[in-house]
Amino acid sequence: MLWNLFKFEPKPYSEDFLDTDDGHHVYYRQFGNPQGIPVLSFHGGPGGSSRPKYAKLFDKHKYRFIQFDQRGCGLSTAEDVWRNNTTDFLLKDAIGILEKLRIKQKIVVHGASWGSTMALLFAEKYPDLVQKIVVSSVFLAREYDVNWVNEDSERFYPDLWAVMRQKINNKNVYDTYHKMLFADDLQTNVEAMTYLGSYEYMLGQLNPQFTPPEELNEKELLSRRIAFKYDEDKYYIKENQIIVNTDRIKHIPTLIVHNRLDFCCPCKQAWDLHQVLPNSKLIINAGFGHSSPELLKIVKDELKKEE
């Protein structure tokens, strides 16, 4: 039954684009009650796209759920997808959407994974606009957190790392596959997507296997390129920026939900966040994987308790 909870996606009541002054056309959509409490939701990635299923976490009668595709992602388009494609400009787009929708009241910010990073950064930059923070599968984007995926996870997946190294003659894994991902050769792109491009999605699996994509989808290739670019540039934020700036949001009620065995973003990130936010509630779900129906149900049930 948990699987059925998020099987059917809700339909938006409104869809539109925010046209920026630097050539980006940022797609956004709204669900629920147009007069309800605004929820601004940030999707995962970087390079991912908005998912309507997250609107089902929030009561459609009580909330006005707004989600958008970040620059270069999903249905968003651009004259130059790389122009001003940084975290600060994503936050600027979020404000631009709120202004276009003429939302004056305080909002709820929501996000999972990279979306949690963005939600926290938004709240810290605009604390006076936020009444509540709801995050899950927390990613704090510290060097410590990034190194888990890029280096330390090899302790659990030495066989996968051996394959990745063998394919590139034992060169530096990240530097080499990064160049392959941005190469102008289609087959080289496929190789990068097959190996390091898919590695992060295997974390937590007990019997992972590298499998070439059936076909190279241009959107999927761009998605991974955006992810690698943000990773390479340290997500365009200062080291430990979120934790350092939590004084700005310590008064805001915050819900944090995380799977115990999240091999993509280990649980300590949620724990560290909870320790510096006295008005936060942390729920560690006895589950595995970066996300799961059980984890989403906890978020939904916790929000329902507030009604």
Cα 94 to Cα 114: distance, rounded to the nearest angstrom: 15
| Residue from 116, 274, 290, 292 carrying the catalytic annotation | 290
Residue type, 177: Y
Active site residue 152: no
Can you name the residues that pair with 261 across neighbouring β-strands? 288
Active site residue 290: yes
Cα 163 to Cα 168: distance, rounded to the nearest angstrom: 9
Cα 223 to Cα 73: distance, rounded to the nearest angstrom: 7
Cα 57 to Cα 44: distance, rounded to the nearest angstrom: 16
Query: What separation in angstroms does the CA of 42 have from each of 112, 123, 173?
Result: 8, 12, 30
Cα 165 to Cα 245: distance, rounded to the nearest angstrom: 38
| Residue from 113, 153, 223, 280 carrying the catalytic annotation | 113
Which residue do the tokens 């992810």 mark?
227
Q: What does the H/E/C string look like for 272-297?
A: HHHHCCCCEEEEEEEEECCCCHHHHH
Can you name the residues that pair with 276 across neighbouring β-strands? none
Q: Are strands 14-19 and 24-32 parallel, antiparallel or unpaired?
A: antiparallel
List of residues 6+ apart from 230 with CB closer than 8 A: 45, 46, 47, 87, 236
| Residue from 262, 280, 291, 292 carrying the catalytic annotation | 262
Active site residue 113: yes
Q: Which residues are catalytic?
A: 113, 262, 290
